[in-house]
Chains A and B, each alone.
Chain A
Amino acid sequence: MLQYSLRRILGMIPLLFLTSIVVFSLAKFMPGDPFGGEIDPSNTNPEYIEEMREKLGYNDPIHIQYIRWVTNFVQGDFGHSTAHKIPVFDLIVDRLPNTIFLAIVSLIITYIFAFAMGMYSGRRPYTWGDNLIAGYNYVGLAIPSFVAGIIAIYFFSFQLGWFPFAGSVEVGLQPGTWDYYVSRMHHVLLPALILGLMGTASYTQFLRNDVIENSRKDFVRTARAKGTSESAIYNKHILRNSMIPLITFLGFDIATLIGGAVITETIFTYPGIGLLFLESVDRRDYAVLMTITMLLSFLTLLGNLIADLLYGIVDPRIRLG
Chain B
Amino acid sequence: MKKKSFWLISLLLVFSMFLAACNSGNETSGNEKDGDKEEANTGEPVEGGKVTLAVTTAPEGVFEYAYYRSAVDAQILEFTGGSIYQVNDDLEYEPDLASWEISEDKLTYTFKFKEGVKWHNGEELTVEDWQFALETMADPAYDGERFNYVEGIKGAKAKKDGKADSIEGIKVIDDYTIAITFEEMKLNNLENLWSYPMPKKHFEGIAVADLGESEQVRTNPVGLGPFKVKSVKPGEYVELEKFADYYKGEPKLDNIVVKVIDASVANGALQNGEVDIMEVIPNQVEELEKMDHISVEETTGVGYSYIGLRFGHRDQEARTNKDDIDKFKNKDLRHALLYAIDRQAMIDAFLAGKGKVFNTVIPSTFWIAADESELNQYEYNPEKAKELLAGAGYKDVDGDGFVEDPDGEPFSISFGHYAGNATFEGRAQAIIQSWNDIGVKTELATGSLIEFNLYNDMKTEDDEALEAFFGSWSTGSDPDPSGLWANNAEWNFGRWVNEENDKLLNDALSEKAFDKDYRKEVYVEWQKLFNEEIPAIPLWENLDLYGINKRLQGVHINAVGFQTNTHEWYVTE
Are A and B genuine complex partners? yes
Instruction: Tell me the chain A residues, 126-170 only, with Cβ under 8 Å from chain B.
Output: 150, 153-154, 157-158, 161, 165-169
- What is the interface of chain B, defined by CB distance below 8 A to chain A? 1-2, 4-6, 8-10, 12-13, 15-17, 19-20, 23-24, 29-30, 57-58, 60-62, 67, 69-71, 145-148, 212-213, 218, 230-231, 233-237, 239, 255, 257, 259-262, 264-265, 268-269, 271-272, 274, 319, 451-454, 456-457, 460, 473-478, 483-484, 490-491
Given contacts A165-B268, A275-B235, contact A44 B145 (CB under 8 A): yes
Cα distance A267–B218 when bound, in Å?
Answer: 26
Q: A15 and B2: CB pair below 8 A?
A: yes
Q: A282 and B456: CB pair below 8 A?
A: no
CB within 8 Å: A-B pair count: 191
Q: B261 and A165: CB pair below 8 A?
A: yes
A182 at interface by CB-CB < 8 Å: no
Q: A36 and B457: CB pair below 8 A?
A: yes
Given contacts A32-B457, A37-B453, A166-B261, contact A282 B20 (CB under 8 A): yes
A278 at interface by CB-CB < 8 Å: yes
Cα distance A284–B473 when bound, in Å?
Answer: 21
Given contacts A48-B147, A269-B236, contact A165 B269 (CB under 8 A): yes
Q: B8 and A255: CB pair below 8 A?
A: yes
Question: In the complex, which residue of chain B has the Cβ closest to the Cβ of A284?
Answer: B453
Cα distance A161–B271 when bound, in Å?
Answer: 12
The list of the 4 closest CB pairs from A to B, nearest first, reads: A32-B453, A271-B235, A42-B476, A31-B454
A-B contact pairs, 23 of them (CB 8 A): A32-B453, A36-B453, A37-B24, A39-B491, A43-B145, A43-B146, A45-B148, A46-B319, A84-B60, A158-B265, A158-B272, A165-B269, A166-B269, A167-B259, A171-B257, A172-B231, A172-B257, A277-B12, A278-B16, A278-B20, A300-B8, A301-B5, A304-B4
- Write the nearest CB–CB distance from A42 to chain B, whole angstroms: 3
Interfacial chain B residues near A263, Cβ < 8 Å:
19
Q: B29 and A271: CB pair below 8 A?
A: no
Instruction: Choose from B2, B213, B237 the contact partner of A171 (Cβ within 8 Å).
Output: B237
A218 at interface by CB-CB < 8 Å: no
- Write the nearest CB–CB distance from B3 to chain A, whole angstroms: 11
A196 at interface by CB-CB < 8 Å: no
Q: B260 and A166: CB pair below 8 A?
A: yes
Question: In the complex, which residue of chain B has the Cβ closest to the Cβ of A276?
Answer: B235
Given contacts A30-B17, A166-B262, A278-B20, contact A85 B212 (CB under 8 A): yes
DSSP majority for the B interface?
A: mixed
Interfacial chain A residues near B10, Cβ < 8 Å:
22, 26
Binary contact track A65-93/B, C-beta < 8 Å → 1, others 0:
00000000000000000011110000100
Cα distance A31–B239 when bound, in Å?
Answer: 35
Interfacial chain B residues near A18, Cβ < 8 Å:
2
Q: B474 and A297: CB pair below 8 A?
A: no
A268 at interface by CB-CB < 8 Å: yes
Instruction: Choose from B9, B233, B261, B274 the contact partner of A19 (Cβ within 8 Å).
Output: B9
13 extra interface residue pairs, beta carbon distance < 8 Å, beyond A168-B233, A169-B233: A22-B9, A32-B452, A37-B453, A40-B474, A49-B145, A86-B218, A150-B265, A171-B237, A267-B262, A275-B235, A297-B8, A300-B8, A304-B4
- Write the nearest CB–CB distance from A184 to chain B, whole angstroms: 12
Given contacts A37-B452, A48-B147, A293-B12, contact A282 B58 (CB under 8 A): no
Interfacial chain A residues near B475, Cβ < 8 Å:
41-42
- Write the nearest CB–CB distance from A26 to chain B, whole angstroms: 5
Cα distance A39–B471 when bound, in Å?
Answer: 12
A281 at interface by CB-CB < 8 Å: yes
Interfacial chain A residues near B234, Cβ < 8 Å:
84, 91, 94-95, 271
Interfacial chain A residues near B148, Cβ < 8 Å:
45, 47-48
Instruction: Choose from B6, B60, B456, B483 the contact partner of A85 (Cβ within 8 Å).
Output: B60
A118 at interface by CB-CB < 8 Å: no
- Write the nearest CB–CB distance from B359 to chain A, whole angstroms: 21
- Write the nearest CB–CB distance from A148 to chain B, whole angstroms: 13
Binary contact track A250-275/B, C-beta < 8 Å → 1, others 0:
00000100010011001111010001
Interfacial chain B residues near A279, Cβ < 8 Å:
57-58, 235
Q: A278 and B19: CB pair below 8 A?
A: yes
- What is the interface of chain A, defined by CB distance below 8 A to chain B? 15, 18-19, 22-23, 26, 30-32, 36-49, 52, 83-86, 91, 94-95, 150, 153-154, 157-158, 161, 165-169, 171-172, 255, 259, 262-263, 266-269, 271, 275-279, 281-282, 284, 293, 296-297, 300-301, 304
Cα distance A259–B5 when bound, in Å?
Answer: 12
Cα distance A39–B145 when bound, in Å?
Answer: 12
Interfacial chain B residues near A167, Cβ < 8 Å:
233, 236-237, 259-260
Q: A296 and B12: CB pair below 8 A?
A: yes
Cα distance A300–B16 when bound, in Å?
Answer: 18
- Write the nearest CB–CB distance from A260 to chain B, whole angstroms: 9
Instruction: Choose from B257, B271, B451, B474 the contact partner of A158 (Cβ within 8 Å).
Output: B271
Cα distance A47–B1 when bound, in Å?
Answer: 46
Residue from A36, A40, A278 whose CB has the most chain B CB atoms within 10 Å: A40
Interfacial chain B residues near A166, Cβ < 8 Å:
259-262, 265, 269
Cα distance A37–B25 when bound, in Å?
Answer: 8
Cα distance A222–B485 when bound, in Å?
Answer: 89
Interfacial chain B residues near A22, Cβ < 8 Å:
6, 9-10
Cα distance A136–B290 when bound, in Å?
Answer: 36
Cα distance A282–B268 when bound, in Å?
Answer: 25
Cα distance A270–B478 when bound, in Å?
Answer: 38
Interfacial chain B residues near A85, Cβ < 8 Å:
60, 62, 67, 212-213
Q: A95 and B235: CB pair below 8 A?
A: yes
Q: B5 and A269: CB pair below 8 A?
A: no
Instruction: Choose from A150, A262, A282 the contact partner of B12 (Cβ within 8 Å).
Output: A262
Cα distance A266–B262 when bound, in Å?
Answer: 7
Question: In the complex, which residue of chain B has the Cβ closest to the Cβ of A84?
Answer: B60
Residue from A40, A42, A278 whose CB has the most chain B CB atoms within 10 Å: A42
Question: In the complex, which residue of chain A has the Cβ closest to the Cβ of B480?
Answer: A42
Given contacts A84-B61, A171-B237, contact A41 B473 (CB under 8 A): yes
